[in-house]
Amino acid sequence: MPSIASIAAFAGFASLAIASPIELQKRAGAFRVDQVESGKRVYQKYSKTVPTKVSAAAAAAAASGSVEASPEQYDAEYLCPVSVGGTTLNLDFDTGSADLWVFSSELPTSEQSGHSIYKTSSSKEKSGYSWEITYGDQSGASGNVYADKVVIGAVTATSQAVEAATSVSSQFTQDTDNDGLVGLAFSSINTVEPEAQTTFFDTVKSSLDKALFAADLKAGEAGSYDFGYIDDSKYTGDLDYADVDDSQGFWMFTADGYAIGDDSEDDSIQGIADTGTTLLLLDDDIVDAYYQQVDGAQEDESQGGYVFDCDADLPDFSLVINGNSHTVPGSYINYAPADSNTCFGGIQSDSGIGFSIFGDIFLKSQYVVFDQSQGSPRIGFGQQS
């Protein structure tokens, strides 16, 4: 497997535990955070691993209609309200990164416009600490580091590392719905230098009833994140768990096989569960096989990937996990209009990076449990109710 540049150009080598970071509020051992769906920006982030043609396709889709008027067609990102230093920001919860970074008062005024802003004037700066994130399409952000109170749901981290942006690229400034990210991958890939900082989840997990959280993303409507507990009402049957390989800092697991419609294959797929990536990115052979079952589908370089007639019937796609199928309805894979006649597929190439990226196209069909309560991390999937 090739080495990976995740969303960050630099990976931290150690986590820094901050003394006395937890303040409990009421019954903080379990809580839910509701989401607000937003459809402005397809959040592509895996450096050269995702070609620029995919970003171009997303831009074409957004230009073809009013994304925010019909977010159920796009589900490009899911935002949650988070209080940072007393200011409520709408942040993207991202299991594919490990930094909590926000738009801040240290940005030029022109880059703050339209965003809610974290004010650093009364915050405690971590002198000598900095961070920088560069994405494959050359978008990115960088800045200084502060210790401040962060409140999500019913739990407060009283001294959480907050990465305050002093510079952000135009891709972020133009997405005025989004004020930053809450990274929920493993703290080992936090980008702060000279010492990596702990994620919000790692900071507060000892205060939760169970050291886990669950993503309940929805197609075309608000979903939720559950911290510290599993809501059995949100899925059918049993949860199917897979062991997680966290050696690269991601929620990486191996599916036993897959199916395209009724055609099943026993070939395993290794991939990352990533709430911060919109599409389902798979090996070229799987992608080609999928679209061979879609009448008229073709790979269109000008659109950045596979497109098809918007009225086409798309087969379901399933991953086999712990012997059971977990299915994405074909309707979810009709991602967005590419032009007046064709639509862009929610399954596209992973560009041969050596693993797949199980983004929101897959995750919004599942109740997904990110579990660190068992000693070794694991991830559980239940088909949504």
Q: Which residues are catalytic?
A: 94, 274
Q: Decide: 242 and 270 in contact? Cβ < 8 Å.
A: no
CA angle 267, 43, 1 (to 5 degrees): 35
The CA-atom distances, in angstroms, between 246 and each of 47, 181, 250, 372, 377 are: 19, 20, 5, 11, 8
Closest alpha carbon to 132 in 97, 156, 159: 97
Omega before 108 within 30 of 0, i.e. cis: no
User: In sequence order, what are the residues at sequence separation of 6 or more whose Cβ sits closer than 8 angstroms to the Cβ of residue 97?
Assistant: 6, 7, 8, 45, 133, 181, 183, 185, 189, 276
How many Cβ atoms are within 10 Å of 266's Cβ, its own excluded? 8
Beta-strand relationship, 356-358 and 280-282 = antiparallel
User: Residue 226 and residue 46: Cα distance in Å, rounded?
Assistant: 26
Two tokens at 109?
């005024």
User: Residue 31 and residue 258: Cα distance in Å, rounded?
Assistant: 33
How many Cβ atoms are within 10 Å of 50's Cβ, its own excluded? 24
Two tokens at 172?
């972020």
